[in-house]
Chains A and B, each alone.
Chain A
C-alpha cells in the first residue's frame, strides 16, 4: 500500500525513514544527493493528507513491521492535521520525528512560514509534489473539473498562490504559474530546497 522502499535485500541495519508519499520523492533525492546509503525510505500514501486520522495507525504499522529489520527508525511526518495524535503514538513507540505543523512549514522553515502567513493569511501553498499533481489532487480532487463554479467557494478567501519549490525546475514553475491562473490567484515562488527535512536528517546522523 503506497510503498516506495529502497530496501536492500537482507539489510537489517541502517535507518528507515517513514514519510508521507507527498514528500518521498524529495526525501529520496536528498538521500541520494548526500550519499546517505545507510538510509532507506518507506512511505504512506499521500492521499492520507485528506484523512489525517488514519496517519498515526498507518505509521505505527510501518514501525512495527520494520522494527526488527533496521537499526533505527525516524519518522518524517510533522503533525499533518492529526491534532497531536501522531506525536502521542510516536511517544508510545519511542520513535523520533521531525517537528512542525505540516510539510509546508518544514520546507519553508517555521519562522519563514509564520511570517509568510502573517503577511498574507490568504496564501494557498503548493510544493513540487502538489504542483506536479495539481490537476489530479486539486482540480479533480476538489471537483472543479465537474463544478467549476465552486472555484470561488474554495478559493474566494485566498489572495495568493505560493509555490514552495524544492527543485529548480522551470517546467514545474510554469505549471505552478498556470495553477495560480486557473485559481485566479497572484503567484509567488519561493525556493526552499529540502528545508528543515535536510537539517533534521543531518542532525540525526551526528
Chain B
C-alpha cells in the first residue's frame, strides 16, 4: 500500500513526501528493489508515457523528475548494498561550449531509474574528458547533449574523437546524442550510434545499444 503512495507522491510532484515514504519503507525493511521498481520506476514509466503521448509537458516532467531525484538520493546508498548489476554504464554530459543541462538531467534521471549506472560530467565537457571518464568507468555508452545550434560542431568533434578512441585504444563505446537541435539525420551524418528524441526515448535507445 505504501509503495503505491510513493508512486502517487511522484505523480503529485511531492518530493518531500517521496523521501518521507521511502524512509518509512526502508525502516520497515521493505526490499530496496521493490521500492525502486514498483514505486519509482513504475511512476517514471508512466511519466515517460504521458510525456511521449503529449498529455504531460516539460514543466510537469521536471517537477516529477525532481521528486524522483529526491527519492533516488535516498535509495542510492541502499542500492549499492544490494549488489544489483546495472543495465550498463553511461557517461553523460553537455558538449563543450554549451551550458544547458535540463534535457541532459532528465535523461540521466530516466537512465538511472531505468537501471543504468550514470556518470554525469555536467556541462561544457570536452571530448577527451568524455573518453577518459568512459575508460575509467568501463562505460558502455557516452551520451552527448546539446541545446545550442552553435555547439553542434562540438558534438560532431566529440563523436569523431570517440570513434577514433574506439579504434586506437581498443575500446567499444557506443555514442548516443540528443537535444533540441539534433535529429536522426544529424546523428547519422556525424556517425553517432543512436539518437534519442526525448528522455524516455533515450532510455529505450540505451537499452538497445547495450543489447538488453
Q: Which residues of A contact B (CB under 8 A)?
A: 52-53, 79-85, 101-102, 105, 114, 117, 121-122, 142-144, 146-147, 150, 153-154, 157-158
Q: How far is the CA of A184 from the CA of B150 in the complex (A)?
A: 25
Residue of B nearest to A84 (CB): B186
Contact A85 B185 (CB under 8 A): yes
Interface contacts (Cβ under 8 Å), in number, total: 60
Inter-chain contacts of B124 with A (CB < 8 A): 121
Any A CB within 8 A of the CB of B149? yes
Any A CB within 8 A of the CB of B138? no
Closest CB in chain A relative to B94 CB, distance in Å: 10
Any A CB within 8 A of the CB of B181? yes
Closest CB in chain B relative to A35 CB, distance in Å: 34
Closest CB in chain A relative to B100 CB, distance in Å: 7
Contact A147 B180 (CB under 8 A): no
Q: How far is the CA of A153 from the CA of B148 in the complex (A)?
A: 17
Q: Give the number of residues in B that approach A within 8 Å (Cβ atoms).
A: 27
Q: Given A81-B181, A83-B186, output 8 extra A-B contacts at Cβ < 8 Å.
A: A82-B181, A83-B185, A101-B148, A114-B150, A143-B57, A147-B62, A150-B63, A157-B99
Cross-interface CB contact of A85 among B100, B148, B183, cutoff 8 Å: B183
Contact A52 B181 (CB under 8 A): yes
Contact A150 B59 (CB under 8 A): yes
Can you offer 18 A-B residue contacts whose CB atoms are under 8 A?
A: A52-B181, A81-B180, A81-B181, A82-B181, A82-B183, A83-B149, A83-B152, A83-B182, A84-B189, A85-B183, A85-B185, A101-B148, A101-B149, A121-B98, A143-B60, A154-B102, A157-B101, A158-B99
Contact A157 B183 (CB under 8 A): no
Binary contact readout B86-105 vs A (1 if CB under 8 angstroms, 0 otherwise): 00000000000111111000
Contact B181 A142 (CB under 8 A): no
Residue of A nearest to B61 (CB): A143
Q: How far is the CA of A147 from the CA of B67 in the complex (A)?
A: 13
Cross-interface CB contact of A157 among B58, B97, B100, cutoff 8 Å: B100
Contact A143-B59, Cβ < 8 Å, known A83-B186, A153-B102, A157-B123: yes
Contact B183 A117 (CB under 8 A): no
Q: How far is the CA of A154 from the CA of B105 in the complex (A)?
A: 11
Binary contact readout B35-70 vs A (1 if CB under 8 angstroms, 0 otherwise): 000000000000000000000011110110010000
Contact B150 A101 (CB under 8 A): yes
Inter-chain contacts of A52 with B (CB < 8 A): 180-181
List 8 tightest A-B contacts by C-beta distance, closest first. Answer: A143-B59, A101-B149, A83-B186, A81-B181, A157-B99, A83-B183, A83-B181, A121-B99
Q: How far is the CA of A157 from the CA of B97 in the complex (A)?
A: 13
Cross-interface CB contact of B58 among A117, A121, A142, cutoff 8 Å: A142
Closest CB in chain B relative to A199 CB, distance in Å: 20
Inter-chain contacts of A121 with B (CB < 8 A): 97-99, 124
Contact A153-B66, Cβ < 8 Å, known A83-B181, A121-B124: yes
Inter-chain contacts of B58 with A (CB < 8 A): 142-143
Residue of B nearest to A144 (CB): B59
Contact A150-B149, Cβ < 8 Å, known A81-B180, A83-B183: no
